[in-house]
Structure 1
Amino acid sequence: MSATATVSSKFQIAIPKEVRERMGLRPGQKVAFIAKLDGVMIVPVPEREDIQGMARGANPEGYRDRNDRF
């Protein structure tokens, strides 16, 4: 897939339709811009409800916290 957008004078862009549809973006949804060496990655920010419980059953044994650091 190859799509382009033009940066406006206010530094805004419109995400092309084919990209919005492929990513499943909807109006009002937040996206994160992650700078890479050769460009920018745009990823949707998940809603709390979407990720709630995803670590259920995880084993915290061996977990290191700030108190373990030197």
Structure 2
Amino acid sequence: METVKISPKFQVVIPAKVRKSLNLKAGQRVRMIPIDGKIEVVPVPEAKSLRGFAKGIDTSIEREEDRF
């Protein structure tokens, strides 16, 4: 567990050990989620890393005749 200090501008530095373990890069976006008095920091994946995530999904569903 790492401890960080909040700056006067409410900024924090993510410790190197944590950055390396999560493979975080400078400029990468993260979500700050408050949960029961705690903050969860969740990396936001880049859009291009999601390409093809639904490959092979079955899209053959029956549709009403008046729908495309």
How far does residue 60 in structure 1 lie from its aligned partner after superposition? 4.8
Percent identity of paired positions between Structure 1 and Structure 2: 36
The one-letter amino acid of 1:5's match is: V
Q: How many matched pairs?
A: 61
Distance 1:49 1:20 in 2: 21
Can you give the 5+ residue segments of structure 1 that lack an aligned partner in the other structure?
63-70
The equivalent residue for 2:32 is: 33
Instruction: From the CA coordinates, give the structure whose radius of gyration is larger.
Output: 2
The equivalent residue for 1:3 is: 2
Cα RMSD (Å): 1.6
The equivalent residue for 2:11 is: 12
Q: SS in structure 1 opposite 2:32? A: strand
State TM-score, norm by structure 1.
0.76
Residues 60 and 37 of structure 1: is their aligned pair in 2 closer, same or farther, counting only changes over 3 Å? farther
Can you give the 5+ residue segments of structure 2 that lack an aligned partner in the other structure?
62-68
Distance 1:60 1:10 in 2: 49
State TM-score, norm by structure 2.
0.78
